[in-house]
Amino acid sequence: MAIRGLLRVGEVAFRVMDMKLARQHYGERMGLIETLEDADGRVYYKTWDELDHHSVVIREADRPGIDHFAFKVYDDATLTDLEPKIEAFGLKVERIPAGVYPKSGRRLSFVLPTGHTMQLYAEMERVGNTMGYHNPGVLPDEGVIRGFRIERLDHILLGGPNIEENERLFTEVFEMSVSERIIDADSKVSMAIFFSGSNKPHDIAFQAQPDGNRFHHASFRLQSAADLVHAADLIGKYRIPVDVSSNRHGVTRGLTIYFFDPSGNRNEVFTEGYMHYPDSPTIVWDTNDLGHASWSQDNVVRPSFFTVLT
């Protein structure tokens, strides 16, 4: 069926501890496009090929981590339809009027069983990618593609307890598929669950953690493996702290690099990966092969990947 309901992660809002360094990292080096600084000092970014006003929001605080994330939904009627279903699941829904969040229509806000604040919205001001929509060609204006050559915000990975309850919400209410999961080989308990509401291997994933509302990473899609090498060269040039250098995931099959912003929030750039469809069976990995599930080129488990979250 055509993609309806929840379309994609349209906004992720997180905290940084030094706005000057953060703007250098996300704007000058990664190449995100700054679209707004609001009256409260929050800074908004989009990638070159995103059409909506922004996808990333950062604010200065005394500790890093996530404030909220938001999925864009198909239309306003979808918001109306989902509200009673979320409440019937057992979550309290707050209605947020249009305009409270800049450039955004009305929203629904609720707290997941993992402790994360999730929002849904249907409308955001569209600013485009400089190419227009009639005979647009294939390239934006000169200088629009820069830095890491990031195409879009692709997905997020979050950590917290009760990820099985999140699974019920995302499959029963939001009608997403579980594309992959990692389980403990002995207990069979889920350690990580990956959800797709599109043709991507995942749109959002949750990792089991003892503390709620933890932020693992925001992931940005590149067009090609050559762009991944280009990003790796810039990461090295600017001495950006690296968590995992160029490798391939077993989970999702994506080529990837993980690195940290100046506040310790983890970022990912990646490319490739497989196509997912609603009839695709769930791929299950267990901890007997955790090295290959995580890093298929060297099969080495990085403990930091499972323990370092903000």
CA distance 209 to 137: 46
Q: Is 52 left (phi over 0), alpha (psi -120 to 50) or beta?
A: beta
DSSP string, 113-148: TTS-EEEEES-B-B---SS-SSS--S--STTSS-TT
DSSP-assigned beta bridge partners for residue 201: none
From the list 50, 54, 258, 276, the catalytic residue is: 258
CA neighbor of 308 nearest in space, from 221, 163, 209, 235: 209
One-letter identity of residue 247:
N
What are the structure tokens assigned to 291, written together?
A: 């090295």
Q: Is 249 noted as a catalytic residue in this protein?
A: yes
- Order of strands across the sheet that contains 56-60: 33-37, 43-46, 56-60, 6-16, 65-73, 117-121, 107-111, 94-96
Catalytic residue among 50, 151, 268, 276: 268
Catalytic residue (choose from 53, 68, 216, 249): 249
CA distance 77 to 75: 5
Whether 155 is catalytic = yes
Give the 3-state secondary structure of residue 286: strand
Backbone φ and ψ of 292, nearest 5°: -70, -35
Q: Which of 90, 69, 86, 89 is nearest to 78 (CA)?
A: 86
Catalytic residue among 217, 274, 276, 277: 217
State yes or no: is 238 an active-site residue: no
As given in the structure block, the two tokens for residue 248 are 């391939």
Active site residue 151: no
* Contact status, residue 146 vs residue 230, Cβ threshold 8 Å: no
**Catalytic pick among 155, 167, 216, 276:** 155
Which is the catalytic residue, given 53, 202, 216, 276? Answer: 202
Q: Which residues are catalytic?
A: 155, 202, 217, 249, 258, 268
